Amino acid sequence: MSTDIPLPSHTWPTLERGWVWLCGAGPGDPGLLTLHAVNALRQADVVIYDALVQEQILSWAPQAEHIYAGKRGGKPSAKQRDISLRLVDLARAGKRVLRLKGGDPFVFGRGGEEAQTLVQHNIPIRIIPGISAGIGGLAYAGIPVTHRDVNQSVTFVTGHDQSGNTPSSLDWASISKGSQVIVIYMGMKHIAQIAEQLITAGRSMHEPVAVVTTATTEDQQVLETTLGTIVADIAAAALAPPAIICIGQSVLMRQVLDWQGMAAGNPPRNLDPLGRGRPAESA
């Protein structure tokens, strides 16, 4: 990937010594980086990056030291407190520090915790949002997270808490009844329990579900299944994290909006997947 693409004319902020910028790297595809992210990568002395940050993205910062600080469920990793204090130490050493996190740092990314620690230690910060996998990753799979004929709300939830268990604070009955579309981050480990609770709360076992792994990358896989068969289908397909799980009728729109499949020469499977029997309205 070329790293010499000039930024458009603009007054770009300067990453000063002793500062930490917390930056979203997007869902995977390097092309989904924001221009502010590219600007930050070009200035950093140190880039501390997560497990979901693609290697190509780091090539935008050849001058910087690259420090891996990934956290993956069920695998040995640095403690969150240690990562936050490492940022403090680097900033106090006069480094221009870029904390690079997959997706958006403030969407199930622990960005708020790290930013709070930095501020508590009098370290100046800047936040650079990124495209979250729960939106951009589904778009790459041809699934709109909102669609007028399907939903007027969407709920984003995490599949595990700080201890790695299904969050005990989540009211699955309220989630089930309160939103037509549910998007689950980090839900693969506990999907059997999650599916069971949603069905018990009233969601149909036949409700469409999509599982999108390594979203927006060349290794992206999309499994279309149902709430009642998702556990068996994930096992049969041998899918592994990282994954975004989308539950709801908007999943059916992939039948007409699988733009990557169409780009590869495959026609849409169904021009009217919701069975409306009419063209989409323009207004």
Catalytic option among 29, 101, 104, 186: 186
Active-site annotation holds for 104? no
Q: Please provide the DSSP assignment of the chain as one string.
A: ----PPPPSS-PPP--TT-EEEEE-BSS-GGG--HHHHHHHHH-SEEEE-TTS-HHHHTT-TTSEEEE----TTS----HHHHHHHHHHHHHTT--EEEEESB-TTSSSSHHHHHHHHHHTT--EEEE----IIIIIHHHTT--S--TTT-S-EEEEES--TTSSPPTT--HHHHHHH-SEEEEES-STTHHHHHHHHHHTT--TT-EEEEEESTTSTT-EEEEEETTTHHHHHHHHT--SSEEEEESGGGGGHHHH-HHHHHTTPPPS-S-TT---SPPP--
Q: Is 71 assigned a catalytic role? A: yes
Catalytic residue among 50, 101, 253, 258: 50
186 as an active site residue: the answer is yes
- Of the residues 71, 189, 233, 272, which is catalytic? 71
For the annotated catalytic residues, the residue numbers are 50, 71, 186
